[in-house]
Structure 1
């Protein structure tokens, strides 16, 4: 169904309904669909999703689109590859607002790529850094992918957000180190730009203080325990509304545009979540998940070897499936195996999103690559995919580190009690 072009939510619902109708009865399948739909949309914790989406769109309306990149570029642009490093910083900062990889790469590319081309950066290097940096939007909190995983897997969204902080920071650090090494080997990839005076650097810093304070307040309050995830999203939306007013952007058109975009995005995601939960019910009824968990146990394979096998399967599937589709299709199958191995579902959520992110830049699908090519139509896809290769190597190294050292994801949630 996905290959035929049907939306992921519709595909999941149709397969789940068809499978349940065959296994139990058509009437029972329809009743189950009604129960799951009502139970899903009436869940209090699901309110976190539209509220964080609204916060993001209000921040867009406040003019936060280019501020993070501009500020980072003023501080490091004069170094070799400095604008590429600034784009990684811009992606991390903007990802903390948007919660979406595709939104992050589209926004930061539209701002950063013209600047890098003006500075004579190699097109493959510039687009590769942007495509890789854009994946940070799926991991840094408040991540839409982690919210969806938390709801489907019935895990604490607050702990998932805390678990993503260190892997997100180390991922950005790995990209920055890769950029520095590449530019040291071949300085022509990312030439230096003019050094910006400290007065201008501080002026740029002042421009992002309010947005950075908003992000730190919301995520910090969630981590410390001031808010539940839904309360944090509510406070964030209200604060983003005040931010629009503070920046002189609070107009009727801005608010109505943010509400319209929020409703459209939320409606689509709700449909996907309902489909995923119905699909999980179907998988549960078939007994496939339990059988797989028992089969894994009978092989007596080490947890590490099992996780590596999962990673390979996810990377292969990620070559032709959208990231969210990949997560929702595999979670009902893999999560029972994780429980069987006595591993943390919180860690698995981070591992799953991190693997999903690689699919955003992995050929042949690589949605981030197609987003960039849509913005820079004169740059061939082959050029962008060639620029991705060093960052893919870094991605695999970072994923290996996450598998070898689970505490990267589990240390902060452990401090939350």
Structure 2
């Protein structure tokens, strides 16, 4: 145990950062640093035994089945063009307003995020539908791409969220409570984006146009195409929030509902099923590998005492609760500008969670907070992945203009994150009210 010091933990962090910035796979980098670090600190035999215990304990967790089921639900919904139907319904109700298609894009991203749980997938699928329509209607390309790139991040926050499932497993906290806690932040985040659009189109009217007002008949027909999706999403989220069903049960219900919806629409083909199973297994395997690596790394950090030392250092600064949380936010935003979102969560949670808990806040609050910071990383120039995803959709728009378009939304993200720090009840009130 001679090497079980905070300094050795810090060396491990630096090596991990070097591997990640050098292009190493997240799961492999976390696992290698964690396993080698444990071998040095505890000895090779103890490190292998500890790793085996972590492996068995993780893979036998009941809640781990939540992730593949929600992924399967999302891929089945891909096969029935759910993103197109959600955007079309929102456009029928909002398209006649100034900037209406931008509002519809945000609503479509929120709706699709609720069945998908991925920022990148939400940006890509909604972008393929919404951007051509906004371009055809004469929207400024900065507003169009910025709205979709920012709106896509809602996929990480609005439950069921893959990021929150991963955090729940890493932090050993309730996934259902995390989902409940994410509802108000997700809604307020979407409202902030809508407010940005509202301000922009009144400040600079040339950025957007107004469309024809859809008749109520057209609106009801558009709603009729998504009623099954709405019912499934409401059942899943409300069931978890009210405590009627567990997240794993909700995921099973959601998957069965998606299969039934596809069958009713006559789109449950062999190819659709094969693709859904293939993509679900591929993504699940990747995330499980990352989880195992992250848990090994977390054990290594715990053994070295780095998290305790970091907490004592922050406490010695005497910044107070708000000052400490702002410092944590700055660290996350700095790392988030160079690291992948999942890498950011898995790298920082073992170190920053004890610091946050020392301020009196809970792991539930931190899970929403770090997910929010991850979302900002997705749209933070120059490395925000959503910006490059939307460039792949809008090939006629330069990345510089996309950067300019997302800046107003990025500013609203900073304000929203600050409000979560100043008013933790935004996150904690609903779970406490519902007794989650």
Q: Does TM, normalized by the shorter one, top 0.5?
A: yes
Match runs of 1:261-300 below 5 Å: 261-300=279-318
173, 176, 182: which one aligns with 1:158: 176
Find the partner of 2:209 among 186, 191, 209. Answer: 191
Q: Does 1:376 align with 2:394?
A: yes
Deviations 1:32-61 (A, max 9, x none): 222211211111111111111111111212
Matched-pair contact (CA < 8 Å) for 1:57–1:261 = yes
- Counterpart of 2:330? 312
Report the alpha carbon displacement of residue 356 of structure 1 after superposing the two structures with TM: 0.9
| Aligned: 1:15 with 2:33 | yes
User: Which of 236, 243, 264 is residue 246 of structure 1 equivalent to?
Assistant: 264
**1:326 has 2:373 as partner:** no
Which secondary structure state, in structure 1, belongs to the residue aligned with residue 20 of structure 2? coil
Name the residue aligned to 1:55: 73
**Residue 258 (structure 1) aligns with:** 276
| 1:396 to 2:419 alignment | no
Question: How much has 1:101 moved relative to structure 2?
Answer: 0.3
For residue 122 of structure 1, what is the aligned residue in structure 2?
A: 140
In structure 1, how many angstroms separate the alpha carbons of the residues matched to 2:45 and 2:243? 44
User: Is 1:178 matched up with 2:200?
Assistant: no
Per-residue CA deviations over 1:276-328 (Å, capped at 9, x if unaligned) read 11110010011000111122233332111001001111111111100110010
Instruction: Answer yes or no: is the 8 Å Cα contact 2:145–2:394 preserved in 1.
Output: no
Any unmatched runs of 5+ in structure 2?
1-18
Give the drift of 1:141: 0.1
Name the SS of the counterpart of 1:141 in structure 2: coil
1:34-91 CA-to-partner distances (Å, cap 9, x unmatched) read 2211211111111111111111111212331211111101111111111011000000
Cα displacement (A) at 1:105: 0.2
Within the alignment, does 1:221 sit opposite 2:239 as a pair?
Answer: yes
C-alpha displacement at 1:400, in angstroms?
1.1
TM-score by length of 2: 0.94
CA–CA distance in 2 between the matches of 1:8 and 1:133? 26
- Once residues 51 and 358 of structure 2 are traced to their aligned partners in structure 1, the CA distance between those partners, rounded to angstroms, is 28
1:71 to 89, 92, 106: 89
Alignment partners' CA distance in 2, 1:382 and 1:264: 33
Is 1:148 equivalent to 2:166 in the alignment? yes
Shift of 1:267: 0.4
Identify which range, 142-151 or 2-11, moves more after superposition.
2-11
Quick one: distance in 2 between partners of 1:230 and 1:59? 18
1:159–1:416 Cα contact (<8 Å) kept? no
Mapped to 2, the partners of 1:18 and 1:139 lie a distance apart of: 34
Deviation, 1:416, is 3.0
CA distance in 2, matches of 1:258, 1:268: 15
Displacement of 1:195 after TM fit? 1.7
Q: CA deviation at 1:126?
A: 0.6
Aligned residues: 417
In the other structure, the counterpart of 2:10 is none
In 2, distance between residues paired with 1:243 and 1:326?
A: 36
Unaligned runs of 5+ in 1: none
Q: How far 1:363 moved relative to its partner? A: 1.1
Q: Distance in 2 between matches of 1:221 and 1:312?
A: 35
Shift in Å, 1:266? 0.3
> 2:187 & 2:358 partners in 1: Cα distance?
30
Task: Give the SS at the match of 2:159.
Answer: coil
1:83 aligns with 2:81: no
- Paired with 1:202 and 1:316, the residues of 2 have a C-alpha distance of 46
Q: Could you report, residue by residue, the CA deviation over 1:196-248 in whole angstroms, capped at 9, with x for unpaired residues?
A: 22211111011111101000011111112221111111111111111111111
SS at match of 1:225: coil
Measured in 1, the distance between the counterparts of 2:259 and 2:86 equals: 19
For normalisation by structure 1, the TM-score amounts to: 0.98
**Aligned match of 1:167 in 185, 206, 212?**
185
CA distance in 1, matches of 2:131, 2:97: 17
Q: Distance in 1 between matches of 2:389 and 2:367?
A: 25
Structure 1 residue 360 corresponds to structure 2 residue 378: yes
Query: In structure 2, what is the Cα distance between the partners aligned to 1:239 and 1:415?
Result: 29
Contact persistence 1:141–1:161 (CA under 8 A)? yes
